[in-house]
C-alpha cells in the first residue's frame, strides 16, 4: 500500500548498499508488506528511510448498493421468462448490439464478435417457437437516415447473422410505424425480423416516449441483451419496457451481471483490480468504488504519471492531468486509510517521441527527466505485478498498461493478459476483463478464451463496478 509516513531519517552509503532497490517505495511491495520500513531515493539522490505505522488488515465486509443488487441479480432472465409464459408464436423484441466494424467498402463485417454474442439468446427463443424481432442502434447518425457506413443502415450485418443463426432474416427499413407493425403482426412462429437503426430517430437517445411506444406495439415481451448500452436510459433499452407485459435479461446480459456484480459483491479472496488507461479522470469513480471492495489495486497506463506528480516525481514529457494531481494524492491517502494495497509501477519504458519507432529506454520512476515520456510499464514492474496477481483469487482488469497499439509499448499489457490467463487455468481464479481497450488487448494476444469472462460493455462495466444502477437493467421485470 502507499503508506502513511510518520518519520524520516538519513541513512549511510553503507546502509544504502545493503538495501536492494527492490525495496523502493512503488517497487516490489510484496517484499516489504511485512515490514514497516520502506526506502526510496529523492531527486537529489539523498537516501531516505521512511518509517510507517502498521495498518490494520482490510475489512472483508462489502458496502452494497441495495438498489443495484436488486436490479441485477434479482431480475427476470430469459429462461425465467420461458417458464412464466408460453412463447410459441409470440413476438419478442430483443435489444442487441450489432455495432460491428466494417471494412472500407462499408459493407463487409471485419469482426463478428458481437454478432456471435446474439446467437444464444436468439436460438433459445426460436427453439421455444417465439418470433424474434431484433433491435439495435448502429453508430451515431444523430437522427439522420444515413444509407451506408458505420452510422448507416444495418444491412451489412444481415447475411453474416443469417449464417450464424442458420435461418433467414427479414430486414425492415424502419423501426416503428404502420408498415413495421403490419410486418410484426404477420410473423407466425420461429421467424426472425430485424428493425432498422434505432438512432435514425433523434428521440432514441432521449428516451423518447413516442419511439418507446412505437417499439412497444411490435411485441408482448422484451429481452434486453445489449449490455454495452445498458447504462443508457434510451427508448430501446429502458423506455420500451413500460409497454411490455414482461421484460427479461438475455443470456449475454445475464452473464455480464452474474460475473461483474456477483464477483464484486461476493468475490473469492484476495480480490484485486487492475486499472489502466490514459486518464485518471475517466477512472476516478471506479477506483473509489473498488477501494471499498478490493484487497489490492494495481495502477498502470498513462494515468500513473498523475500519481507520480502527486508524489513529487519528475515525469519528463509524460502525459499528466494537472488538475487531478490532488485527487490522485487523495486516492492514495484513502487507500492507506482503508488498508488497501495501491500499487504503482516501479519502472517504465520511456520514449523520446510518441511513435513506435522512437528511441526507448527503461528507467526507475524516480529517474524520469527531460523530454522523455513514459509509454509502458517496465520489466521490474511486470515481475512485481505478477507476484501480486499470483496471490489473488478474483481479478478485475480495466484499461491497458501502456500504448499497446504500438508493438514497442505493448509488453506490459500483453504480460498482464497472460498473467490473467495463467491465473484462470492454473489456479482457477476468477478473471474478468472489462473495457474496450483491455478486451482488444486480450483478444489481440489470442487469450480471449482463456479468462473467466470478457465484458462486452466498456462504459457499462465501469458504471456497474462503480456501484451505479444501470437503467437498462433496473427497468426489467423482477424474477
Give the catalytic positions in this structure: 114, 279, 436, 459
How many Å apart are CA 151 and CA 147, to the nearest integer? Answer: 8
Respond yes or no on whether the N-terminal peptide bond of residue 300 is cis (omega within 30° of 0).
no
Output the nine-digit C-alpha cell for 388.
Answer: 501480486
Output the nine-digit C-alpha cell for 321.
Answer: 492531468
CA distances from 461 to 7, 133, 264 (A): 41, 26, 12
How many Å apart are CA 270 and CA 275, to the nearest integer? Answer: 16
How many Å apart are CA 479 and CA 477, to the nearest integer? Answer: 6
| Strands 192-194 and 91-95, bridge-based pairing | unpaired
How many Å apart are CA 145 and CA 165, to the nearest integer? Answer: 28
Sign (positive/negative) of CA torsion 219, 222, 225, 230? positive
Q: What is the phi/psi pair of residue 236, to 5°?
A: -85, -5
| Strands 169-171 and 131-135, bridge-based pairing | unpaired
How many Å apart are CA 151 and CA 164, to the nearest integer? Answer: 23
Sign (positive/negative) of CA torsion 298, 303, 309, 315? positive
Amino acid at each position: 500500500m502507499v503508506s502513511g509516513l510518520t518519520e524520516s531519517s538519513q541513512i549511510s552509503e553503507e546502509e544504502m548498499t545493503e538495501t536492494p532497490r527492490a525495496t523502493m517505495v512503488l517497487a516490489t511491495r510484496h517484499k516489504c508488506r511485512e515490514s514497516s520500513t520502506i526506502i526510496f531515493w529523492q531527486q537529489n539522490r539523498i537516501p531516505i528511510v521512511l518509517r510507517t505505522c502498521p495498518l490494520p488488515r482490510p475489512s472483508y465486509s462489502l458496502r452494497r448498493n441495495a438498489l443495484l443488487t436488486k436490479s441485477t441479480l434479482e431480475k427476470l432472465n430469459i429462461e425465467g421468462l420461458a417458464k412464466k409464459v408460453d412463447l410459441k408464436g409470440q413476438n419478442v423484441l430483443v435489444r442487441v448490439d450489432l455495432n460491428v466494424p466494417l471494412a472500407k467498402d462499408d459493407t463487409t463485417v471485419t469482426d463478428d464478435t458481437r454478432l456471435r454474442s446474439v446467437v444464444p439468446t436468439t436460438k433459445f427463443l426460436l427453439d421455444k417457437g417465439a418470433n424474434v424481432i431484433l433491435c439495435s442502434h448502429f453508430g451515431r447518425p444523430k437522427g439522420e437516415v444515413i444509407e451506408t457506413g458505420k452510422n448507416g443502415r444495418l444491412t451489412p450485418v444481415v447475411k453474416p447473422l443469417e449464417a450464424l443463426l442458420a435461418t433467414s432474416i427479414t430486414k425492415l427499413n424502419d423501426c416503428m410505424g404502420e408498415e413495421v407493425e403490419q410486418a410484426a403482426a404477420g410473423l407466425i412462429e420461429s421467424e426472425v425480423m430485424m428493425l432498422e437503426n434505432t438512432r435514425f430517430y433523434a428521440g432514441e437517445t432521449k428516451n423518447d416516449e413516442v419511439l418507446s411506444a412505437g417499439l412497444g406495439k411490435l411485441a408482448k415481451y422484451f429481452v434486453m441483451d445489449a449490455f454495452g448500452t445498458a447504462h443508457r436510459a434510451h427508448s430501446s433499452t429502458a423506455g420500451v419496457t413500460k409497454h411490455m407485459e414482461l421484460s427479461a435479461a438475455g443470456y449475454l446480459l445475464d452473464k455480464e451481471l452474474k460475473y461483474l456484480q456477483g464477483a464484486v459483491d461476493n468475490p473469492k479472496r484476495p480480490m484485486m483490480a487492475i486499472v489502466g488507461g490514459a486518464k485518471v479522470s475517466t477512472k476516478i469513480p471506479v477506483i473509489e468504488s473498488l477501494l471499498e471492495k478490493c484487497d489490492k489495486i494495481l495502477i498502470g497506463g498513462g494515468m500513473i504519471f498523475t500519481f507520480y506528480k502527486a508524489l513529487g516525481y519528475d515525469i519528463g514529457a509524460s502525459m499528466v492531468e494537472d488538475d487531478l494531481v490532488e485527487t490522485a494524492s487523495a486516492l492514495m491517502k484513502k487507500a492507506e486509510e482503508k488498508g488497501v494495497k495501491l500499487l504503482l509501477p516501479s519502472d517504465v519504458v520511456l520514449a523520446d517521441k510518441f511513435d513506435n519507432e522512437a528511441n526507448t529506454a527503461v528507467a526507475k520512476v524516480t529517474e524520469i527527466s527531460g523530454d522523455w515520456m513514459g509509454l509502458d510499464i517496465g520489466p521490474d514492474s511486470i515481475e512485481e505485478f505478477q507476484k501480486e496477481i499470483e496471490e489473488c483469487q478474483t481479478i478485475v482488469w480495466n484499461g491497458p498498461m501502456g500504448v499497446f497499439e504500438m508493438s514497442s509499448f505493448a509488453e506490459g499489457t500483453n504480460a498482464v493478459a497472460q498473467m490473467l490467463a495463467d491465473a484462470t487455468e492454473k489456479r482457477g481464479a476468477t478473471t474478468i476483463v472489462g473495457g474496450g481497450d483491455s478486451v482488444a488487448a486480450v483478444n489481440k494476444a489470442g487469450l480471449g478464451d482463456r479468462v473467466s469472462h470478457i465484458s462486452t460493455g466498456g462504459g457499462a462495466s465501469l458504471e456497474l463496478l462503480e456501484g451505479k444502477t444501470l437503467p437498462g437493467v433496473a427497468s426489467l421485470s423482477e424474477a
